[in-house]
């Protein structure tokens, strides 16, 4: 998870991933389409590879990179634990503020009594 997010946080790497969403691509084509230098693309792909986001297949001199599902699936699972944020009817903030209010009332009561 953390590795996945860190790999995706670099803008050019995110672009590469978004390009690969449309299908597998050799390094040179990625460099062309994104107007990056080949060595930087290779380096970014290396990082993405370490994070398990892409895999490499060889075809003559070319290296074809394509996305791997696992980290995306994991990201999706992680996100699920935040789904309550837009699905819950009432905010937890309200809850919290009401709780604070109550605690405050208690304190004052104690002091006086």
Binding site for DNA (CB under 7 A): 6, 10, 12, 26-29, 31, 36-47, 56, 58, 60-63, 111
For 73-82, b/e burial (b = at least 16 CB within 10 A) is eeeeeeeeee
Q: Binding its own copies by CB under 8 A: which of 35, 37, 61, 93?
A: 93
Written as six digits, the tokens of 19 are 């390009």
Q: Binding its own copies by CB under 8 A: which of 33, 38, 39, 69?
A: 69
State the residues that interact with its own copies by CB under 8 A. 2, 5-6, 8-9, 11, 14, 21, 23-24, 57, 59, 64, 66-69, 72-73, 75-76, 79, 81-83, 85-86, 91-93, 95-97, 100
């Amino acid at each position: 998870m953390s590795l996945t997010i860190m790999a995706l946080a670099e803008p050019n790497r995110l672009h590469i991933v978004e390009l690969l969403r449309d299908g597998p691509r050799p390094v040179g084509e990625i460099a062309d389409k994104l107007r990056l230098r080949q060595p930087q693309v290779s380096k970014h792909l290396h990082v993405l590879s370490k994070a398990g986001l892409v895999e490499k297949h060889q075809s003559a001199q070319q290296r074809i990179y394509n996305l791997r599902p696992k980290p995306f699936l994991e990201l999706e699972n992680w996100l699920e634990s935040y789904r309550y944020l837009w699905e819950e009817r009432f905010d937890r903030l309200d809850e919290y503020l009401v709780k604070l209010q109550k605690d405050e009332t208690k304190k004052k009561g104690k002091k006086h009594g």
